[in-house]
Amino acid sequence: MRYFPLFIDTNDLSCLIVGAGEVAARKLELLLKSHAQVKIVAPDVCATVKHLADSDQVTLCQRPFEDDDLANVRVVFVATSDEALNADIHAKATALGLLVNVVDNTPLCGFITPSIIDRSPVVIAMSSGGNAPVLLRYLRQKLESLIPANISKLGAFSERFRERVKHALSSVTARRYFWESVLDGDIAEEVTQGNAERAEEKFNAALQAAAENKQTQGQVYLVGAGPGDPDLLTFRALRLMQKADVVIYDRLVSPQILELVRRDAEKVYVGKARSVHTLPQDDINQLLIKYAKEGNRVVRLKGGDPFIFGRGGEEIQRLIEENIEFQVVPGITAAAGAGSYAGIPLTHRDHAQSVVFATGHLKDGSIDLNWSSLAQPNQTIVFYMGLTGLPIICERLIAHGLPASTPIALIRSATTQQQKVITGTLSNISAHPELAQMKPPVLIIVGGVVSLQHKLNWFEPHLAQQ
């Protein structure tokens, strides 16, 4: 992130605009929405600037730029058609420690002005760092259509009652829960519909009820984060991640997904690597209980789906024992994600009429599975956590009746840009020259459907798989 987003307090902010053409007019128009005082310096002034300058916030000096114009200002916009003059002003203003923006010249910008959606007091600012202005306009149009204009009423309502809520509810968590209930409920609806009196009555009743409730009820959400691509999160998963007070996550949750968690949430890593546990499962269970009993909204974020080799069942058993409320949010399991992105359908009328999920690593570290039920014709087998036991898996499947020529695929980091797929057969996959590159997380798919991978590989069609 080259440009760090900041919102500057414009009370008592003095700005200088050098230039008074249409480009400068656009900057002036933006500044006039703030409380800033603006000085404009230019020998020639366009009609738009002349019109906008008819404001108590603006001082118009119709003359060439002078070095003294940089005195007593904090922000400088340079918008002349003289590139040499622009560079000279940039150098002088930068030497004085001022914030400088040379319009349409990103290398000479100490800051850039974002694309703004103004629903004051709610203001949304977006930037592409000057690299994708058309994409930025496209995103702004999308957001403008999604965010109603009357959301500003809700912002003003929240601002009006903020101190009252702070006084009534001493706990930060209690205040957060209260405001979320307001914004998600009928009070917000009354505000946006213009029913201010009715909204205030309901607000006061809700605040009194919240103040009398001494114990804030914590809750745990077991959320499936999917196989890796953030776009595969469910809407509900994303909403809860952005409301969480505490997020307890494992190794299979990608950094891109963690970026979507609420910024000030406490993040607790309890990841498990192959045969190495950062925390034993019992300790993870105890963490969930501890944070929930402290009144937090806890998200247990798991790669894939919580109920498919995610130990979600074990965790909610303990929550039930402790009378802690919980919800489960399904996620796209690794088998579905890996198969789809590798071009391997898990079922196919010509190849597999059933699919079975198995773990390649049991609780005691063994791979003691019901091999005869797995080694069935016209069936797809998906092994989770089976990389270490790959030779044993291949050996047992052959021993229990599958042909040595049965196709097999290993998929690493499925659905992400780091995805890698290697294919072979039960007899030769262990000798594959690229096997050493396959580091966890790796999913194993066995069955005739793997033979379709070369034709159906839509995600990486440019790669020739072995």
241 appears as a binding residue in the annotation: no
Q: How far apart are CA 238 and CA 433, in angstroms?
A: 40
44 appears as a binding residue in the annotation: yes
Beta-carbon contacts of 384 under 8 Å, excluding residues fewer than 6 positions away, are 308, 309, 334, 335, 357, 358, 359, 360, 361, 443
Structure tokens belonging to residue 310:
């995610």
Beta bridge mates, 423? 409
- Amino acid at residue number 102: V
12 appears as a binding residue in the annotation: no
Beta bridge mates, 224? 302
Q: How far apart are CA 62 and CA 344, in angstroms?
A: 70
247 appears as a binding residue in the annotation: no
43 appears as a binding residue in the annotation: yes
231, 245 contact by CB (below 8 A): no
74, 80 contact by CB (below 8 A): no
Structure tokens belonging to residue 371:
């091999």
20 appears as a binding residue in the annotation: no
User: In angstroms, what CA-CA distances link 81 with 30, 70, 88, 159, 331?
Assistant: 20, 19, 13, 43, 54
Beta-carbon contacts of 230 under 8 Å, excluding residues fewer than 6 positions away, are 254, 256, 257, 259, 260
148 appears as a binding residue in the annotation: no
382 class by beta-carbon count within 10 Å (0-12 exposed, 13-18 middle, 19+ buried): buried
414 appears as a binding residue in the annotation: yes
Q: Which residues are known to be catalytic?
A: 250, 272
3-state secondary structure of 420: strand
305 appears as a binding residue in the annotation: yes
385 appears as a binding residue in the annotation: yes
3-state secondary structure of 102: strand
447 appears as a binding residue in the annotation: no
Q: How far apart are CA 268 and CA 248, in angstroms?
A: 5
Q: How far apart are CA 232 and CA 71, in angstroms?
A: 53
Q: How far apart are CA 166 and CA 177, in angstroms?
A: 12
Residue ranges for the known binding site for S-adenosyl-L-methionine are 227, 303-305, 308, 333-334, 385, 414
Residue ranges for the known binding site for NAD(+) are 22-23, 43-44
Residue ranges for the known binding site are 22-23, 43-44, 227, 303-305, 308, 333-334, 385, 414
